[in-house]
Amino acid sequence: MVGIPFSYHAPETYIDTNIKGTLNVLRAALNSKKVRVIHTSTSEVYGTAKFTPITEDHPLQGQSPYSASKIGADQLVLSFYKSYGLPVSIIRPFNTFGPRQSLRAIIPTIITQILNNNKIINLGNLNPSRNFNFVSDTVDGFISTIKKEKINGEVINIGSEFEITIKETAELIAKILNKKIIINLDKKRVRPKNSEVDKLQASSIKAKKLLNWKPKYSNKNGFIKALKSTIEWYKNPSNLKKFKSNIYNY
């Protein structure tokens, strides 16, 4: 279960899926005695950054039921490594985006509203900053993890290290599309005050060291290139019509 806003409404489903579901996978892997587990975590487990760039040693902060469920799942994975010697690795991708992504994510939410000729686009809090990863970089991180065998028990960030606010992201997308926009603060899209993660910026030092991984779409120029590629996919009318940009998908 990946949608953060829906976790406020149905926290028990996040516990059942993200924690109990992970337990089922771990038990099955342990019983097989031949399976290595690569567990997908999330940058949300860090909460608002206490220091940047965020290393894997950053404190874990459950600022939403979603992030709390992912922290629980992460710790369960590590407990199976420490208790039973199950070969596990934890990968923490920062905010992934790209073609085909649902409107539960911010970048396709912005793109589709603008492409549907909305001069006024509805967004939540504009001030938080994010460390967006183009999907191919995230995939490369997983492939690199699969190829490495001596990383059992390790937690590894996958992040571009480029930080940008939601407001700046919306303005950048509008500029690429050559559109003028007015941003409306939609209160139902705003997270509870103490639940909002205000700042995320990854350290990828460990990924470079252990996985020989580094993002191809780093810095602002890389982000713009990735945005253009993403926008081109959504601009295809047959793709755009699959998304209901006028509805808030929580």
Write down the domain spans for the chain: 4-240
Fold of 4-240: Rossmann fold (3.40.50)
Query: pLDDT of 121-152, one tens digit each?
Result: 999 999 999 999 999 999 999 999 999 989 99
What local confidence, expressed as pLDDT, does residue 149 receive? 87
Q: Which residue has the higher pLDDT, 118 or 164?
A: 164
d(CA 139, CA 131): 16
Confidence of residue 95 (pLDDT cuts 50, 70, 90): very high
For the stretch 70-89, pLDDT in tens is 999 999 999 999 999 999 99
Residue 139 one-letter amino acid: V
Gap between the Cα atoms of 235 and 246, Å rounded? 16
Do residues 197 and 127 make contact, with C-beta atoms less than 8 angstroms apart?
no
State how far the Cα of 158 lies from the Cα of 92, in Å rounded to an integer: 6
Query: Could you tell me if 90 and 74 are in contact, meaning their C-beta atoms sit under 8 angstroms apart?
Result: yes
